[in-house]
Amino acid sequence: MDRDTVNAIHALYQNGEMDAGELMGRLWCGPDTRPDLDGLAAAAGNRMRLEAPLIRFIKATENQMAGIPRPDFVFGYPLSQPPRRSGEPRPAFVAMPYGPSWFRQVSELVVATAGGCGFHAEVSIDLATPGHIIDQIWQGIRRADVVVADITGSNPNVFYELGLAHALGKEVIMLAQGTEAPPFDVSTARLLRYDLSALPAFEAQLARAFGSVSARYAYEGAQPEF
């Protein structure tokens, strides 16, 4: 769907019905870029209007986007993929700073704990598919039922990935070492603090957090929302 088509849908949604010539006259349309409204708009004479199902869809989506999206955000998951079957591990995405000496120790603990709770956790540094790394991170987060973000040291890459998770309405388990206050924009989020010298206690906390991630499908049980 090109920008002209989006503009046409926007104009029809706002105006209800428009003269076809007036609608096209408002848009920049080169010889090969005429908006394709087949199946989206109905014509009555020379008038055009959006089909009722599309109007309902736009209203529902705009309502979801009025604030930070929640886990039921219609575009939060790739609808091009089949629904997960019962018994398959739930996808999780892990955003962590790569440089520190403790990275591998903590990331392996997170992945192992996730596995014990029925999740398959993907760490962004371990993405192996050739291609643009930002696209891979976006798709990894979009597929995930939960995102684990370790904000220790205020790493900018982690906060970038945390922002993508919020934009997609993902539930987030946020981690940090020490007592440093998190940035204001995420200061109200639940934060699991841990000490490298007491990882077994942290593992139990983390397992409870994974266990509280809300169910996406009925067969995953009626878990409370995290």
What is the DSSP code string of 148-174? Answer: EEE-GGG-HHHHHHHHHHHHTT-EEEE
State the maximum Cα–Cα separation within the chain, in Å, rounded to a whole number. 75
What the block records as the tokens of 145 is 């039922």
Q: Count of CB atoms within 10 A of residue 102's CB?
A: 14
77 Cβ contact list (under 8 Å, min separation 6): 142, 143
Break the chain into its structural domains and give their ranges: 3-64, 90-220
Q: What's 134's DSSP letter?
A: H
**For position 222, what pLDDT does the model report?**
45
Q: How far is CA 94 from the centre of its chain?
A: 13
What single-letter amino acid sits at 19?
D
Is the CB of residue 18 less than 8 Å from the CB of residue 11?
yes
What the block records as the tokens of 11 is 């104009």
Place of tokens 């993902």: 170
CA distance 5 to 133: 29
Please name every residue paired with 86 in a beta bridge, in sequence order, or none if there are none.
none
With CA atoms as reference, report the closest residue to 156 among 98, 94, 69.
Answer: 98
**For position 45, what pLDDT does the model report?**
79
Rg (CA), the chain: 22
Q: pLDDT 10s digit of each residue in the chain, 226 long?
A: 778 888 889 999 999 999 888 888 877 665 556 667 777 788 777 888 999 999 999 999 999 999 999 999 999 999 999 999 988 999 999 999 988 899 999 999 999 999 999 999 999 776 556 667 888 899 999 999 999 999 999 999 999 999 999 999 999 999 999 888 888 888 878 899 999 999 999 999 999 999 999 999 988 854 444 4
Q: What's 100's DSSP letter?
A: S
What the block records as the tokens of 39 is 């199946």
CA distance 165 to 140: 10
For domain 90-220, is the CATH number 3.40.640.10? no
